[in-house]
Amino acid sequence: MFRSRDFSLAIATQWAGFGAMFGSFFLLPMFLQQVRGYGSFETGLITLPQAVASAIFMQIGGRLFDRIGARPPVLAGLTLVAIALGLMTGITGSTTIRDLILPLTLMGAGMGLMMMSLSTHMLNSAPRELTSRVTALSQALQNVVSSLAIATFATVLQSRVPVHLAEAAGAAGGRPSAPALADASAAGFGDVYGAALGLIVFAWLLAWTLRRPRPVAATIEVAVGRGRPPRPDAEPEREPVVAGHL
């Protein structure tokens, strides 16, 4: 499957985008419970806008893919996720629920636009005889990439929070106030969101390489038009997968 240029670039874009998003998902519950002091039930309710936006924009992304291909919705989705992560880099110890509604909604919307379009694009890009393996491979690799991203971001968080705490202690002469400690802890989370933003920018650049897979029949017509006979083993025209019918 990786011999297909379109498939390889699509799954690389998916790795980078999913790694940044799923790797940073665990940060928000930790921030809300450890820094802001919310309970688990309240934390779940706070993340509800992200899930709702993702469900809505997944349908929109599928319809856009059927009309204009994968590149525009994927670029739009990654742009929304980048904006959301950019807003999250500025979280502080006094960040409220109202402050988080907009970035969470943007992240859910961006994820919905990107997921459906990329998944369908990979199905259309893979060789026909290997299409049945695409879903299993992509799901397995998503789990691997997400696990590596979580481990990496957790390590970054563990290394950055003590740095900010030491800076707060030095600025306060060894006795920082509770708000200063909360801001220092939140700054560590902001650093990790900044790392995730860099990964999303990389995925955004990769998304520009996405293109509509050319049907086999169209390839045969081009070869005949140039005076070359079609290959005897050429496959019949392949019906592209429609995103809404996944």
* 20-40: pLDDT as tens digits: 888 888 888 888 888 888 888
Most confident of 33-37, 202-206, 210-214, 222-226: 202-206
Domain that holds residue 37: 5-245
Q: Give the confidence band of 224 by pLDDT, cuts at 50, 70, 90.
A: very low
* Phi, then psi, of 90 in degrees rounded to 5: -100, 15
Dist CA 60 CA 31 (whole Å): 31
* pLDDT for residue 232 is more than 60: no
- Residue pair 103/82 in contact (Cβ under 8 Å)? The answer is no
Q: Tell me what pLDDT residue 193 has.
A: 92
- Measured in degrees and rounded to the nearest 5, phi and psi for residue 72 equal -60, -50
Give all strands (DSSP E) within the chain, no chain letters.
Answer: none
Closest CA to 201 of 85, 35, 98: 85
Question: For residue 173, what are the contacts with CB-CB under 8 A and spacing of at least 6?
Answer: none
Cβ distance 164 to 187 under 8 Å? Answer: yes
Residues 6+ apart with CB under 8 A from 100: 28, 46
Would you tell me how many other CB atoms lie within 10 Å of the CB of residue 198?
Answer: 12
- Higher-pLDDT residue of 194 and 142 is 194
CATH number at residue 32: 1.20.1250.20
Tokens 């011999």 sit at which residue? 3
Judged by DSSP in three states, 69 sits in: coil
Give the number of domains in the chain. 1
User: What pLDDT does residue 205 have?
Assistant: 93
More confident residue, 233 or 148: 148
Cα distances (Å, whole numbers) of residue 110 to 38, 60, 151, 159, 164: 26, 11, 23, 29, 31
For the chain, the average pLDDT equals: 81
Whole-angstrom distance, CA of residue 202 vs CA of residue 130: 28
Task: Identify the pLDDT of residue 240.
Answer: 56
Higher pLDDT, 59 or 176: 59
Using 50, 70 and 90 to split pLDDT, how confident is the model at 222? very low
Look at 231 and 108; give whichever has higher pLDDT. 108
